[in-house]
Structure 1
Amino acid sequence: MIAELLSSALGLALYLNTLGADFCYDDSRAIKTNQDLLPETPWIHIFYNDFWGTLLTHSGSHKSYRPLCTLSFRINHAVGGMDPWGYHLVNVLLHAAVTGLFTNFSRILFGDGYWTLIAGLLFASHPIHTEAVAGIVGRADIGACLFFLLSLMCYVKHCSTRGSSPSTWGWILGAGLCAGCSMLWKEQGVTVLAISAVYDVFVFHRLKMHQIISALCKRKNLTLFFSIGLLTSWGTALLGVRLYWMGNKPPSFSNSDNPAADSDSFLTRTLTFFYLPTKNLWLLLCPDTLSFDWSMDAVPLLKAVSDWRNLHTAAFYAGLLLLAYFSLKGSSNERECNGRTVMNGKQNANGHSCHSEMEYKTLEVKSSFASKEENGIKKHEIKKLQLPSTENIVVLSLSLLIVPFVPATNLFFYVGFVIAERVLYVPSMGFCLLVTVGVRALYVKAQKRFLKNLVFCSTAALIIFYGLKTVVRNGDWQNEEMLYRSGIKVNPAKAWGNLGNVLKSQSKISEAESAYRNALYYRSNMADMLYNLGLLLQENSRFSEALHYYKLAIGSRPTLASAYLNTGIILMNQGKTEEARRTFVKCSEIPDENLKDPHAHKSSVTSCLYNLGKLFHEQGHYEDALMVYKEAVQKMPRQFAPQSLYNMMGEAYMRMSRLPEAEHWYVESLRSKSDHIPAHLTYGKLLALTLQLKLLEC
């Protein structure tokens, strides 16, 4: 219990300075503009929309189905509104809870002692967790990891009580439910079922690869076969339901999100996708360079076999295969007990015999129930089981490192990122266990006391350095400006572009313009940056330059409705009404498919139709204006503010002397925004005209 408390306390302490941080990066879209968090939105919408508030079956959805995480955001919003402090507090507390659970799970593998504490401290301090904890949207990974560990612990209990207690099936039911909850926090949570199977076969039953098939055929192992079958069936059911719920279609992503997936060269895709796990492992080993975004060209594509990075790939997979091979094969004649090596089952210096490789039997770890008769009554007593061997732990650690990472490898489907540090939150548990078991093996092999102390001191230094790096990285996540500046050396195009947005919001116009131009220097076809630069120039009355950049943005991304909108407005103000009309019409015809942010797109299209209607209105074509206004009402998204649109519809009806319809839309305008001054003025004119007509009738 002390180890759990110490590691949780460290995990809590390292992130306390993030409580005063702002919303950063993806937080805006997942929280600030997500309609699913608002109290007026029915809470059931959470279960039909993706993580960003887009309908899950929509072609532009990222298919990130995480309703439990979104529900936690909604609760945060209900309690504290848009104050980021409460959101950060929940993230930090969840991380502390996960750290304690992970340390408790490590006790099953290492027993009570320093090794369990070391594993917990490594996890608590690792800098790779900063994005998941300091970035509010990282709660998806933390929450998934929490239920991941709860599911795994339930299955461990199932294994230890199987065949001797009726509660055993309650534990496996709990494991299945927690696995489902983990998947509903984030997709990779379902992989806990595979990890549970690995634990059962290789840790609890201590089987080697060549023993698995023969062991399953034995009658005494039917319960093992049944448990694995339940895990497989439940995992298949969860994946099938999720695939059906997301519309049986994979998500579509921009080529800048994952350039390798968009490459026409099979060789480039293969070499790059094989290299990316190597890069991810390096981030776990040496997290000296971290970034909020690794998209675009942050990791250059491997286009040829002669690329020297292929050596890293070869070394990584060779080492991984060797480690897996020797762990699964095991050693038949060399065993270790209490730090002493024995051969062929002989006793160690203390007279204790060794029954499996690399066991440390002086420590207690887990229990199972054994039945006995006492005074004619059948009771259960706890019998202590031996700790798993080093080989067993390595197999489990490798599985925990690799299996949860598999969905991010592009092996089964393309994903919308190159590297995402928060994706490594769950796999880092396997990494921490591997480091711990490696340190323990070095400690056991060391013959001199000096060497043993050196191993301990080096491990302590590693934990301290990890902790210091975490604190420094937390500083980068204090606000968006610091975060984006820290990412310039990794992803200059994206970092400069986002920094420009921040500087613009701070009214640092010249600095913002310089940042946008720096972003375009590194990547000239970034439609968002071209649009943002055009918007900045438009707001500063540099209309000709703004028009130039809007047209470049449209050329780079023909579906960017906001660029059409502002282009049309400038053309309309310049008196180029026909060109403006064509621009607005073209915007309204953009198909609502495969868009990154369909809500923003619909808002821009609605605004285009509104301005097109105004154009017809000013030309005296009121019938045409009304037809366009009605189309705008049909396409209008929920978050669109409709008061101006309704008011213009009222004006069009009034000009056509259709006063009842005009009054209806004036009332609708004031209902949507009671202090909308233009609607008050036009409604007043209507009432005055109506009164005048009544007086004339009299």
Structure 2
Amino acid sequence: MAKIRKKKAAEQTANGERRFGRFVIFGIMFTVCIVYAQTASFEFTDWDDNKLIVDNAGIRSLSAESLRTMFTLESGRTFQPIRELSYAIDYALWELKPGPYHLVNALLHAIAAVLLFVWLRVLLRGFRPQWEPRQIGIAAAIAALLFAAHPVNIEAVAWASSRKYGLLAVFSLLAAICHQQSITATGVQRAGLIAGTLLCMLLAMWSSPVGVVVPTLLIGTDLCAAGIQRARKLRAQYAGYLALNVIITLSLFRVLTSGQGKTARDHSDGTLTGTLVTDFQVFFDYLCNLLLPLWLNNRYFHELSQSLSSPKVLLGMLSGAILVAAAVWRARHQDWFAAWCLGWFVVAWAPVANLVPISTIMADRYLYLPAMGVFAIAGAGGSALITRYGKGAMVAIGCVLLAYAAGGYQRCGVWKNSATLWTDSLAKDSRSALPYNSLGTLAQDAGRFGEAEAFYQQAIDRDPNSAVAHYNLSRILTLQSREHERAIRHIDLAIQADPLFANAHNNRGVLTKDLTSFQEAVRLAPDNADARKNLGNCYLERKQFDLARPQYEKALRLIPHDPSLHLYLGLIAQQAGDLAAAASRYEQALLLDPTLSAAQSRLTQIRASQN
């Protein structure tokens, strides 16, 4: 009878855990829906969405050639084939309707939150073997709900261009779950789980370069949760993980640090020291944003910190020292959970901490993977409070989760379109040039040229070396046919700030009629149709027809619906005496634009001469 009662009690416990798990998963999905359903009506923004999605010819096809290009390592080109493949699938399903792209991001976020709950529910048994299943389940639930609702994760989800972070989280957590199950599996099942772990690691690395830390995170998790003895038994398995890690890391480092479009930059002061000091300031800001996310911004303004006496640097160092001391103290009492949480944060943050310099010092999206460690320890702390203080603690924690969800909902609305995004950014911090530049572009597109000019000038005031701001100011002066010399001066400053800025060279050619400027623009950007068209026009004016023709033909392959290109090719054919080819070009131009009088008069002239 005792055995029967024990069996029934175990079954009841298991059933209760399953019911609790289903309830939490429903809660996660519901939370994600409440916070992110609004993104279905969001637009693409002018911040990378055009480059990565709207104007990205590479996602327009799922052909073998397109797939080969996606998965080919090329110096100077960002290598994130899984992200690009996901966009290509989106385009095949709904072309450029922005709503579905945003909803796919939200779905990935929901899946990642569920996987985090599933993984932590098992992982915490190793860190907290003395806890009841209910305590472990509550800790995992709090952590997953924080991940699902926290405002700091909004950028990684509501921004269409941040797709890679959702993919990274999903594949990283799948790798963690497969690895966790492989430890106790045997035979063919174990081999399959190890292969699944390696595959998910590879997909995480191909989603985002940050994925290179996944093997280190999993090995570190084992060391903290089970100790060195188990790690020794898994040496062969770890060797496979690290071998994959080394291969992908070396290949990514090569393509990201070479070529004209390289992602890696130089340290702002030429050394690693300034970056490390600045990281203490960024670390403190990240802690503030995780605790009280009231100053979130899509573009933080950060100056390089040169002095250890800077208040934020000191606070960052003090915060780090306290956290390390707490983790060491707990580890001395055989509790490695705090050390694991802190280690997870630091290791996952390392690729974007500018140790290898990148374009951005601080961004909310950079916390998407690291913050899981913070949410895990918050979940464990919340579960301990509920166990000790009961319903009162549960109500308090519920209120905190609701507050974060409300903040997440409000923050999500900021990403509705470019205007709401940059208006919010400017309201949070007026020191950065980028919001002014972007708001100027929006005003220019709306025909408010005076307002646009004022925004561009304010951008230059804040960053005199902003090539884009100088370029935009030159363009707006050109559009208004004003201050020609000032326009040339600003385009020269744009080129001085960024000699590889192809559009600036092209616009300088427009302003000065300088052939070499167009040639340089085409050299820097061979697929710039506008530059090729302008270079062809320059050759045509000089009656260098043999040089003009290939420029027009290459431009036509890039923009096949431009009637003026057919017109110019018709002029060249007519000049060469090939009236049939000229007439054909004029007819194609008129098909695209029946009001093109130059093509109509030329075609009439040819037909009259033939009659």
> Which category describes the TM-score, using the shorter chain as reference length?
0.7 to 0.9
For 1:613, the equivalent position in structure 2 comes to: 539
CA deviation string 1:606-638 (max 9, x = no partner): 13312312321xxxxx2x243244356468873
For 2:369, the equivalent position in structure 1 comes to: 426
Kindly indicate whether residue 63 of structure 2 is the aligned counterpart of residue 120 of structure 1. no
Deviation at 1:139, TM superposition (A): 1.4
Select which of 545, 550, 553 maps to 1:630. Answer: 550
For 2:15, the equivalent position in structure 1 comes to: none
Select which of 404, 410, 424 maps to 1:466. Answer: 404
Deviation at 1:453, TM superposition (A): 5.6
Cα distance in 1 for partners of 2:245, 2:308 equals 38
For 2:515, the equivalent position in structure 1 comes to: 584
Cα distance in 2 for partners of 1:78, 1:302 equals 46
Paired-residue identity, %: 22
Cα distance in 2 for partners of 1:56, 1:475 equals 37
Asked whether the equivalents of residues 394 and 437 of structure 1 are also in contact (C-alpha less than 8 Å), the reply is no
**Structure showing the higher helix proportion among its residues:** 2
Select which of 270, 276, 287 maps to 2:282. Answer: 276
CA deviation string 1:471-527 (max 9, x = no partner): 111121111111101111335411111011112223333332332232222223322
Kindly indicate whether residue 321 of structure 2 is the aligned counterpart of residue 307 of structure 1. no
Kindly indicate whether residue 341 of structure 2 is the aligned counterpart of residue 397 of structure 1. yes
Count residues with an aligned counterpart. 576
CA deviation string 1:68-119 (max 9, x = no partner): 2222212222222221111112111221111111111121144444222211
> Residue 29 of structure 1: SS of its match in structure 2?
helix
For 1:202, the equivalent position in structure 2 comes to: 224
Kindly indicate whether residue 569 of structure 2 is the aligned counterpart of residue 560 of structure 1. no
Q: Which amino acid in the other structure matches residue 130 of structure 1?
A: I
For 1:249, the equivalent position in structure 2 comes to: 258
For residues 445-484 of structure 1, what are the structure 2 equivalents within 5 Å? 449=389, 455-484=393-422
For 2:35, the equivalent position in structure 1 comes to: 14
Deviation at 1:287, TM superposition (A): 1.8
Q: 1:668 to 1:506 in 2, by over 3 A?
A: closer
Select which of 144, 147, 160 maps to 2:171. Answer: 147
So what's the TM-score if we normalise by structure 2? 0.84
Cα distance in 2 for partners of 1:265, 1:232 equals 29
Deviation at 1:252, TM superposition (A): 5.6
Deviation at 1:152, TM superposition (A): 0.8
Asked whether the equivalents of residues 401 and 428 of structure 1 are also in contact (C-alpha less than 8 Å), the reply is yes
CA deviation string 1:526-548 (max 9, x = no partner): 22122222322332332535445
Alignment gaps of 5+ in structure 1: 332-356, 358-390, 571-579, 617-621, 693-698
Q: Which amino acid in the other structure matches residue 204 of structure 2?
A: S
For residues 264-413 of structure 1, what are the structure 2 equivalents within 5 Å? 264=270, 267-294=273-300, 298-327=301-330, 329-331=331-333, 391-411=335-355, 413=356
CA deviation string 1:651-691 (max 9, x = no partner): 134224354665676688689x5869468537625742662
Q: 1:262 to 1:202 in 2, by over 3 A?
A: closer
Q: 1:242 to 1:526 in 2, by over 3 A?
A: closer
Cα distance in 1 for partners of 2:89, 2:467 equals 35
> Residue 301 of structure 1: SS of its match in structure 2?
coil
Select which of 213, 217, 229 maps to 2:239. Answer: 229
Asked whether the equivalents of residues 106 and 157 of structure 2 are also in contact (C-alpha less than 8 Å), the reply is yes
Asked whether the equivalents of residues 11 and 99 of structure 1 are also in contact (C-alpha less than 8 Å), the reply is no
CA deviation string 1:203-229 (max 9, x = no partner): 2xx21xxxx3xx37xxxx764222222
For 1:350, the equivalent position in structure 2 comes to: none
So what's the TM-score if we normalise by structure 1? 0.74
Kindly indicate whether residue 30 of structure 2 is the aligned counterpart of residue 4 of structure 1. no
Asked whether the equivalents of residues 278 and 304 of structure 2 are also in contact (C-alpha less than 8 Å), the reply is yes
Deviation at 1:555, TM superposition (A): 4.0
Select which of 92, 111, 122 maps to 2:106. Answer: 92
Larger Rg: 1
For 1:354, the equivalent position in structure 2 comes to: none
CA deviation string 1:165-203 (max 9, x = no partner): 541111111111111112222222232222222233332
Deviation at 1:457, TM superposition (A): 4.2
Q: 1:313 to 1:592 in 2, by over 3 A?
A: farther
> Residue 477 of structure 1: SS of its match in structure 2?
helix
Q: 1:306 to 1:190 in 2, by over 3 A?
A: closer
For residues 138-177 of structure 1, what are the structure 2 equivalents within 5 Å? 138-161=162-185, 164=186, 166-177=188-199
Asked whether the equivalents of residues 537 and 548 of structure 2 are also in contact (C-alpha less than 8 Å), the reply is no
Cα distance in 2 for partners of 1:77, 1:8 equals 25
| Bigger shift: residues 263-272 or 423-432 | 263-272
For 2:6, the equivalent position in structure 1 comes to: none
> Residue 464 of structure 1: SS of its match in structure 2?
helix
Cα distance in 1 for partners of 2:195, 2:286 equals 34
Asked whether the equivalents of residues 46 and 70 of structure 1 are also in contact (C-alpha less than 8 Å), the reply is no
Q: Which amino acid in the other structure matches residue 538 of structure 1?
A: T
Kindly indicate whether residue 212 of structure 2 is the aligned counterpart of residue 190 of structure 1. yes
Select which of 651, 672, 681 maps to 2:571. Answer: 651
CA deviation string 1:356-377 (max 9, x = no partner): x5xxxxxxxxxxxxxxxxxxxx
Q: 1:291 to 1:640 in 2, by over 3 A?
A: farther
Q: 1:15 to 1:91 in 2, by over 3 A?
A: same
Q: Which amino acid in the other structure matches residue 535 of structure 2?
A: L
Cα distance in 1 for partners of 2:554, 2:372 equals 50
Alignment gaps of 5+ in structure 2: 1-20, 125-132
Cα distance in 2 for partners of 1:427, 1:599 equals 39
For residues 205-216 of structure 1, what are the structure 2 equivalents within 5 Å? 206-207=226-227, 212=228, 215=229
CA deviation string 1:398-456 (max 9, x = no partner): 33322222111222x22121112212111121110021223345566x6xx4xx66644
Q: CA RMSD in A?
A: 3.3
Cα distance in 2 for partners of 1:242, 1:555 equals 30
Select which of 68, 74, 80 maps to 1:57. Answer: 74
Cα distance in 1 for partners of 2:381, 2:174 equals 26
